[in-house]
Structure 1
Amino acid sequence: MKLLHIDSSILGAHSVSRQLTRDIVSQWRASHPGTVVDYLDLAVDTPNHLSADSIGFRAAPGAAPLTEVQERENAVSEALVSQLLAADVIVLGAPLYNFSIPSQLKAWIDRIAQPGRTFTYTDKGPKGLATGKTVIIASSRGGSYSTTEAGRALEHQESYLQTVLGFIGITDVRFVRAEGLAMGETARAQALASAQSAIRVHTGVAANESQAAEAA
């Protein structure tokens, strides 16, 4: 089994989403021995945002040869989409920035959303090609958005990620959410405890412990 571990927070050691992705990966490996982990830090290795050069991989047959810059950008896109397609499980750190996701993470999404590789269009509409994968998203938020209709209307982080992942064929999307992190120490502690409980469920640790208890 191959696991792709992705972080996108710019906060380094102060990042809650990074703490959560580390815990998710650790507990997944404990529940799934032999898992091979590949790591991508989008805050350090950020792909360029889409431009006329970075969409060179979409050049039609018979078009003019790619320029040197386009070839280089094409190589970046190819490496990122190949890395995604090779993974069985993706653990994705996605903090909420200004009601959405970090621009570094959006740049990665724009590179891996490739026609003919991760999606295609048919006579019935779009069809995702990156199927059979599990994504566990570590969602961190300073405020609280999931408990009210008004809050849910403001967030374009989890809703966007679920939509774009579904578009490329990934429907097993699990969220480990820590929200209210900036709303006082009590709220922060409760958020982290809730996230740890979700990690145990989504990585299979809780199920393994239950089976062990039943066998004892």
Structure 2
Amino acid sequence: MPHLLHLDSSARRSSFSRELSARYAAGWAGTRTYRDLAAEPIPVIGEAWTEICDALLTAKITDPAHYADVVETPEQKAAWAVVEPLLNELLEADVVLIGAPMYNFSIPAALKAWIDQVTFPRMSLKGTAFVIAGARGGSYAPGTPRAPFDHHERYLRDFIAGHYDVDDVRFVHAELTNALVDPHLDARDGERKASLEAALKAL
């Protein structure tokens, strides 16, 4: 039975990215693991984590099943205790679903902390699919004035495909969400509604 790892990273309890990711998850026919990275933040990596990475490179270990072989010191063991459950959840997934709003042209710190914890040298997730349910306050679609500032989809696509060697990375965005609160975007609320409707339909 296919397994879904569902992550949310919005600081808002009620958010567009959460609504979108929930829509996808509601149609999932297999098993599911859920993590709310904002409600239960993952700690940032420390020096012991970097020591584990260095040891993996030195030992030429690329199989996650043997990552723990290089863990030696008490500090490294404490770091590995954080990593291990997160890594197991990722490796068990057939599809990774990420609710990821755009914050300051990029991704939330909570999501970046998770990425850092579960990413190791020459690590491949080939065969795993990723679905990113995004939300942006403005419009960053290709051809728009703000498209060059999109370090949200571009970062996630480049990282997931480039480092993890993943072929299937899909993005669905609700744009112009700030039209609900920013008077300067009042005239574009129709576009916001259309974007949300199209994203929900796609998911």
TM-score normalised by structure 2 residue count: 0.82
Write the distance in 1 (CA, Å) between the matches of 2:70 and 2:3.
36
Find out whether 1:133 has 2:128 as its counterpart. yes
Query: Residues 74 and 150 (structure 1 numbering): CA distance in 2 closer, same or farther, change over 3 Å?
Result: same
Query: What does residue 105 of structure 2 align with?
Result: 99
| 2:73 corresponding residue in structure 1 | 66
Structure 1 outlier segments of 4+, above 3 Å:
61-65
Which residue is 2:196 aligned to?
Answer: 192
1:171 aligns with 2:171: no
Q: TM-score normalized by structure 1?
A: 0.77
Identity %: 35
Task: State which of 132, 146, 150 in structure 2 corresponds to 1:155.
Answer: 150
Shift of 1:44: 2.0
Which aligned pairs between 1:114-133 and structure 2 lie closer than 5 A? 114-115=120-121, 120=122, 129-133=124-128
2:92 maps to 86
Return the offset for 1:64: 9.3
CA RMSD of aligned residues (A): 2.0
- Equivalent position SS for 2:146: helix
1:105 positional shift: 0.4
Aligned residues: 181
Tell me the equivalent position of 1:182: 178
User: Relative to structure 1, is the Cα distance of residues 151 and 66 closer, same or farther in structure 2, using a 3 angstrom cutoff?
Assistant: same
SS at match of 1:195: helix
8 Å contact from structure 1 (residues 53, 70) kept in 2: yes
Matching residue within 29, 34, 39 for 1:39: 34
How far 1:152 moved relative to its partner? 1.9
Distance 2:34 2:6 in 1: 5
Match of 1:124 in 2: none
1:83 is displaced (CA, Å) by: 0.9
CA deviation map 1:14-46 (0-9, x unaligned):
x1100110001112x2xxx3x001001111222
> Aligned partners of 1:196 and 1:10: how far apart in 2?
21
